[in-house]
Every structure is written in structure tokens, then in C-alpha cells.
């Protein structure tokens, strides 16, 4: 919480907790816990007063149109998240049949609540590197045809196929991109031994896909904007025989993005990607306060203290980034 609020005025809070955030009441309770933690942190009063967590609901097979209506009326729920069942961390309660979600999708259109999508199919026989493209072709294309005004964010895209898909749609379809998918590819994950802190879902892809993601992220196209997908899994849960998926980047996300953008000479495009396009897509006011990045090296900490004596290992732990936040 303090890491996120230290760099961002607003965050989209993912609902895949245990148990999941399934309705407006759950979202209000989760937001209250966030604000209690914020109040107890050592952040400045300025940062505390600026922070506005935007909540999401976890779409399940049992979500109703009334759940969507109440969420829209709550004033704190910004979107609804679709996890195909079994696609990622804590997704067991996710959707098993897209065709059964018609009433929910109609309600989302009616109330102008965006649908956020983890875009992967989950059938065991489909190669893990092909799952994003198969979802786009077989699932998302159908949703867009049937619900042409539904606002959709394809979260954490990983392939050139996804970038091209989003570019081909209207302005109601956008995408987020993580720092790890801009900076790394599957060689970083696998060459020289498996690197668990590069393991996330959707998994890192070929270098050719990474280059296309960098191109669209730094293009100034408002259909692509920041989404860290930062996942705070304890170090012992990552460095395990069956390590969990997700990269932790909340504390260093902006220097990571700055490093990626600067690597292709496009640091001037970072402000739109980080601070404007997402707010505009969601219909939120632009922030009036600013944060400053400086071309001064910083070392990413090796770890952070975490719950019950555990530690939390960030993306690029111990490495030096050429950009840092001006304190």
C-alpha cells in the first residue's frame, strides 16, 4: 500500500483476493482496509490525501446484472475484471462459460462500467505461449461483436497479436502494458536457469513481441496505458518448487517504465502513457499534482520486509536503474 501510494494518486485494485471481491459490499470493505492501512503508514499527509484507490469486482459465473447496477451506484467501483477460471493467481472462481455472462455484459454497457480482461484461454492442450492469441480470436472477438459499445481493457498484453488486435478496434477497446513485458522476454526468464521473479502470467514472450509492445507503448496512442499488474508474492512463494506467478514493481514502477521508454529514445511519451491516457479512458479527471523523474541512477532494493517475517523481492532486485524518482 505505501509503495503504491508513494508513486500513484490512483490505482485500479485487482479483486482476486481470497475470498474474491464479488460485489459492491466486498469492494467497500476492501477499500476501507486499504484506507486504514494508508492512514497508519508513514507517508506524508499530502500523499495520503491524494490517494484514491479505484475498486473492481471479480466476475464469476454467478455475478448478476443487479450486482453490476449496485457497483455502478457505489461510486467506488471503477470496473469489473474477467479472469477465465484457472488462468492466473486466485482465479479458481473465474468465469467458466463466457456465453452465460450475457446479462452482465449488457449491464456493464448500460452503466458504462469497463470490462477488464485477463486475456488467455486455459485449456490444458493449448500451448502457454499461444493462449493470449487464442483468447483474442476465439473469445474477445465474439464479445466485441455482441456488445459493440462495451468498454474493454485488455490487461497486461504480451504479444504483437494483442497490440494489433487493440489497434484494429474502436476507441472503446484499450490495453495496459506492464514494465516487465516492455523490458524483458522469455530469454530473461529461461536462459541460464529459471528466474522465478520474471515469472508472471501471461508469460513473457519472444523478443519480437517485446519490441512491438515497446513500439505501441511509446507511440503516444491513447489506446495503450500503464498497468503494472504488480503482484506482492512473498519471496518464499516465488522461489519454490511450484512458484506463483507475478512480478512486484509497485515501489519502482515509474523508474522501470522510464528506463524502458528511454531505451528507445521516447521518454517524452511517458507522461501520456502513465498519467493521461488511462484517466481519459476511465472518464476520470487528470491529476493536477505532479511527480518528477530524474536521470539519476538508483539501486533497486534486494528485498522489502513483508508479513510474518517474510520478505518481498521486487522486479530487478539489486540491479541499478538509470532513472529515479525525485524525492
The catalytic residues are 229
Is 172 annotated to bind a ligand? Reply is no
Residue 81 labelled as part of a binding site:
yes
Q: What are phi and psi of 118, to 5 degrees?
A: -85, 105
Strand ranges in the chain using DSSP code E only, listed in sequence order: 10-13, 52-58, 77-82, 115-117, 152-154, 173-177, 224-226, 293-294, 298-299, 304-305, 311-312, 320-321, 324-325
**CA quadruple 180, 56, 154, 103: dihedral, nearest 10:** 160
Q: Which residues, listed in sequence order, are joined to residue 55 by a DSSP beta bridge?
A: 13, 77
Is 16 labelled as part of a ligand binding site? yes
233 marked as part of a ligand binding site: yes
CA 272 to the chain's CA centroid = 17
List Cα–Cα distances, 290 to 9, 35, 164, 194, 327, in angstroms.
10, 22, 32, 39, 12
Dist. CA 36–CA 40, nearest whole Å: 6
Reduced to 3 states (helix: H, G, I; strand: E, B; else coil), residue 258 is helix
Is 90 flagged in the annotation as binding? no
For 325, list phi and psi in degrees, rounded to 5.
-85, 135
Residue 23 is labelled as binding a ligand: no
156 assigned to a ligand binding site: yes
Output the CA–CA distances (angstroms, integers) from residue 22 to 71, 183, 226, 325, in the order listed: 10, 33, 25, 36
Q: Which residues are annotated as a binding site?
A: 16, 81, 118, 156, 201, 229, 233, 245
Binding residues for Zn(2+): 81, 118, 156, 229
Amino acid at each position: 500500500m505505501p509503495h503504491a501510494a508513494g508513486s500513484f494518486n490512483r490505482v485500479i485494485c485487482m479483486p482476486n483476493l481470497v475470498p474474491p471481491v464479488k460485489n459492491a459490499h466486498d469492494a467497500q470493505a476492501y477499500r476501507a482496509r486499504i484506507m486504514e492501512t494508508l492512514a497508519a503508514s508513514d507517508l506524508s499527509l499530502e500523499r495520503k490525501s491524494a490517494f484514491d484507490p479505484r475498486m473492481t469486482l471479480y466476475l464469476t459465473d454467478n455475478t448478476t446484472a443487479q450486482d453490476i447496477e449496485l457497483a455502478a451506484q457505489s461510486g467506488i467501483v471503477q470496473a469489473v475484471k474477467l479472469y477465465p477460471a484457472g488462468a492466473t493467481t486466485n482465479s479458481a472462481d473465474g468465469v467458466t462459460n463466457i456465453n452465460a455472462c450475457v446479462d452482465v455484459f449488457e449491464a456493464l454497457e448500460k452503466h458504462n462500467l469497463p470490462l477488464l480482461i485477463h486475456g488467455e484461454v486455459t485449456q490444458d492442450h493449448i500451448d502457454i505461449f499461444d493462449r493470449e492469441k487464442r483468447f483474442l480470436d476465439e473469445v474477445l472477438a465474439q464479445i466485441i461483436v455482441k456488445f459493440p459499445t462495451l468498454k474493454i481493457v485488455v490487461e497486461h498484453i504480451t504479444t504483437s497479436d494483442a497490440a494489433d488486435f487493440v489497434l484494429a478496434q474502436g476507441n472503446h477497446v484499450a490495453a495496459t502494458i506492464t514494465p516487465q513485458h516492455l523490458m524483458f522476454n522469455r530469454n530473461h526468464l529461461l536462459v541460464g536457469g529459471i528466474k522465478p521473479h520474471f515469472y508472471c502470467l501471461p508469460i513473457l514472450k519472444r523478443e519480437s513481441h517485446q519490441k512491438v509492445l515497446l513500439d505501441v507503448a511509446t507511440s503516444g496512442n491513447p489506446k495503450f496505458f500503464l498497468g503494472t499488474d504488480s503482484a506482492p508474492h512473498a519471496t518464499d512463494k516465488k522461489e519454490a518448487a511450484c512458484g506463483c506467478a507475478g512480478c512486484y514493481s509497485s515501489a519502482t514502477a515509474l523508474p522501470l517504465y522510464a528506463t524502458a521508454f528511454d531505451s528507445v529514445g521516447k521518454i517524452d511519451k511517458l507522461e501520456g502513457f502513465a498519467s493521461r491516457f488511462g484517466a481519459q479512458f476511465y472518464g476520470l479527471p487528470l491529476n493536477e499534482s505532479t511527480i518528477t523523474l530524474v536521470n539519476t541512477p538508483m539501486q533497486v532494493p534486494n528485498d522489502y520486509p513483508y508479513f510474518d517475517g517474510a520478505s518481498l523481492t521486487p522486479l530487478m532486485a539489486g540491479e541499478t536503474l538509470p532513472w529515479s524518482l525525485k524525492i
